Structure 1
Amino acid sequence: MKNRKHLLRAATATAVVLGVTGLSACGAAKTDSSGSSGTVTIAVPSWVGAEANAAVAKYILENELDTKVKLTQLDESVAFDALNSGKADAILEDWGGAPKKVKLYVDDKKSVVEGGGLGVTGHIGWFVPKYLVDEHPDITDYKNLNKYASLFKTAESGDKGQLLEGSPSYTTNDDALIKNLDLDFKTVYAGSEAAQITQIKESYKAKKPFISYWWTPQWLNSQLDLVEVKLPAFKEGCDADAAKIECGYAETPLQKYLGADFTKGNKEAAQFLKNFNWTNEQQNEVAALIADKKMSSEKAAEQWVKANPDVWKAWLPK
């Protein structure tokens, strides 16, 4: 497996209220991964795009395949442990942030199997608002960031520019990038995806300078005009040593993983999840209903499913 290290998006506060159940490595809800119980447990990373995947999959499994679904919120690394133990059956959006777990469970133990691509391509980078670029056109080159570091100073960043992050619990290359590219910046964590979005929206509305790690797909991108700062180009293997990283982030086709026992015991549900494949735009549509329109994940999924039968019917097992 490719040893890619990507910034995992920060936790969104909506996860808890949208019916996603918490699960720790030692306190997981019991699940019969053989499929005999008819229940499928989907591990959901704590950002709204992943919630959109799980909500749509759950709605179709329950309403079209008569299969009960449990959603459980898990960080990426712990989710692989849950797949291995049978306490979860599927991960629908993996960004490649746990390569050692993939090697252990997929390649070595074979307790987890690849479920194919999600159809969504993820990309992470550093972004600034377009109005700032209009004022300072050369700010989009990382080599010029130090010249503008004072624009981004906050109480939290001290005498350095603030690079806004999401949650400190996720893997990020940004501290290494700042050090290795000799940038006068400091990472400052908002604490969650929702908190980060709030800060970005407030700064954008006031037309204040800000620079933040950000990603696609992201529903908010249709509302704000953000421009990516050009970091050194990603090349395969440039992120192999986390301490020495000097390159930006890759374009990442997001992947699905399934418990091996689950695929044998509940073949119909497993085949559906393997077939589940949609676009960045389709994921954003559901994510925006949840995070922006404040619709429940269940209602958002129902609305999308009813409007797009030509898409999801192709996912059903033959």
Structure 2
Amino acid sequence: MRERNPDRRRTRVVAALAALCAVVLLSSCAVRTTSILRDPNAVRIALNGWVGYEASAAVMSYLLEHEMGYQTQLMRIDEQPSWQAMDQGAVDVILENWGHEDLMKLYGPEGNGTVVDGGPNGNKGTLGWYIPEYLVEEYPGIDTVEGIKEHAEIFATSETGDKGQFLGGDPAFVTQDQGMINHFDLNLEIVYAGSEAAQITEVRERYKAREPVLFYFYEPQWLFEELDLIHVDFPDYHQGCDADLKDVACDYPSYDLNKIFRRDFAEEGGLAYRMLDDWQWTNSQQNAVARMIAQEGMDPEEAAETWVRENPDVWKEWIPDQAKG
């Protein structure tokens, strides 16, 4: 990683634990953290644990700082705690929300009223089970639930014994894989890689060796531009089919990914809120930045700077007129 100019304003990536500790302390005194004085020139962005999200956060942070004069804090925190932190006033925006209707009901207008739906961010989200294309060529039909059931043993490892291995990513991700395994009576055992990066490394190694691998994954994701991967076909999602996460009779739903704002930030965030509200981009645009970070080893800020420099026709439309010039 090249050394950057120390005189430049730098985005601060902070662990959200400190902010949440402050929440606990204040809550014990019956004081809501929404009463904490927030610097109106600072924007606190939740940073969830996958590289596509990191790409979005890096670009938004770069534009807020270098084009609009704000300071930003990227709060490294998992999906569900992001909502709790926002409810408690410690985070201003979640940039990529994958459903979570239960959390919106809890914290949105029908619940605490501390968060609001920020509308689509432009990304189309797909979750599911994936295998390499070469497995479909070797075992025709293995890209279906029936095919997985018939050939589960080819995914077995020393870790899973006579069961096939299903490779998960970050155990903090909200998934329904065990419920699908249970419902369809699949002889599989979930093994978590520990993180998105570790999962990608393992998938790439097995792909290079043309070994069997079955894994949870999602789009947008830059890896699809490197590897030929096939989405395993399960019965389509329908309302209620995932109501019991121990017994899930369907595939994952598809998502129009959206933003979530802290209500007070949406009401008082000024030009920063307006820029984030106007921002939308495509899966391929996110993948371009994510690839620079994950595959090319760029620092996220450097990747954002590169993308911003090469795509002014895209991002200038997000900047409010009052902030231009």
Q: 1:35·1:266 contact (CA, 8 Å) conserved in 2? A: no
Write the letter of the residue equivalent to 2:266: T
User: What is the Cα deviation at residue 35 of structure 1?
Assistant: 5.6
Q: 2:40·2:269 contact (CA, 8 Å) conserved in 1? A: no
> What residue in structure 2 maps to residue 179 of structure 1?
182
1:22 pairs with 2:22: no
From 210, 220, 224, the equivalent of 1:221 is: 224
From 127, 152, 156, the equivalent of 2:155 is: 152
- Distance of 2:252 and 2:153 partners within structure 1: 25
Write the letter of the residue equivalent to 1:26: L
- Distance of 1:28 and 1:126 partners within structure 2: 39
> What residue in structure 2 maps to residue 264 of structure 1?
267
From 90, 94, 99, the equivalent of 2:101 is: 99
- Distance of 2:172 and 2:261 partners within structure 1: 24
Secondary structure of the structure 1 residue equivalent to 2:224: helix
- Distance of 1:313 and 1:156 partners within structure 2: 51
Calculate percent identity across the aligned residue pairs: 43
Structure 2 counterparts to residues 175-254 of structure 1, below 5 A: 175-254=178-257
- Distance of 2:90 and 2:165 partners within structure 1: 40
- Distance of 2:286 and 2:12 partners within structure 1: 18
- Distance of 2:216 and 2:91 partners within structure 1: 30
- Distance of 2:36 and 2:228 partners within structure 1: 44
Name the Cα RMSD after superposition: 1.9
> What residue in structure 1 maps to residue 62 of structure 2?
59
> What residue in structure 1 maps to residue 84 of structure 2?
81
Q: 1:33·1:262 contact (CA, 8 Å) conserved in 2? A: no
User: What is the Cα deviation at residue 138 of structure 1?
Assistant: 1.1
> What residue in structure 1 maps to residue 283 of structure 2?
280
| Structure having the higher Rg | 2
Q: Quick check: 182-191 or 30-39, which moved more? A: 30-39
> What residue in structure 2 maps to residue 255 of structure 1?
258
Which segments of 5 or more consecutive residues in structure 2 lack a partner in the other structure? 1-10, 24-32
Q: Quick check: 263-272 or 296-305, which moved more? A: 263-272
- Distance of 2:307 and 2:134 partners within structure 1: 34
Secondary structure of the structure 2 residue equivalent to 1:27: helix
User: What is the Cα deviation at residue 152 of structure 1?
Assistant: 0.6
User: What is the Cα deviation at residue 99 of structure 1?
Assistant: 2.8
Closer/same/farther in 2, CA of residues 46 and 20 from structure 1, 3 Å limit: farther
Question: Where has structure 1 moved over 4 Å in runs of 4 or more?
Answer: 28-36
Which segments of 5 or more consecutive residues in structure 1 lack a partner in the other structure? 1-17
Write the letter of the residue equivalent to 1:20: V
- Distance of 2:266 and 2:199 partners within structure 1: 37
Closer/same/farther in 2, CA of residues 33 and 45 from structure 1, 3 Å limit: farther
User: What is the Cα deviation at residue 44 of structure 1?
Assistant: 1.0
TM-score in terms of structure 2 length? 0.88
Aligned residues: 300
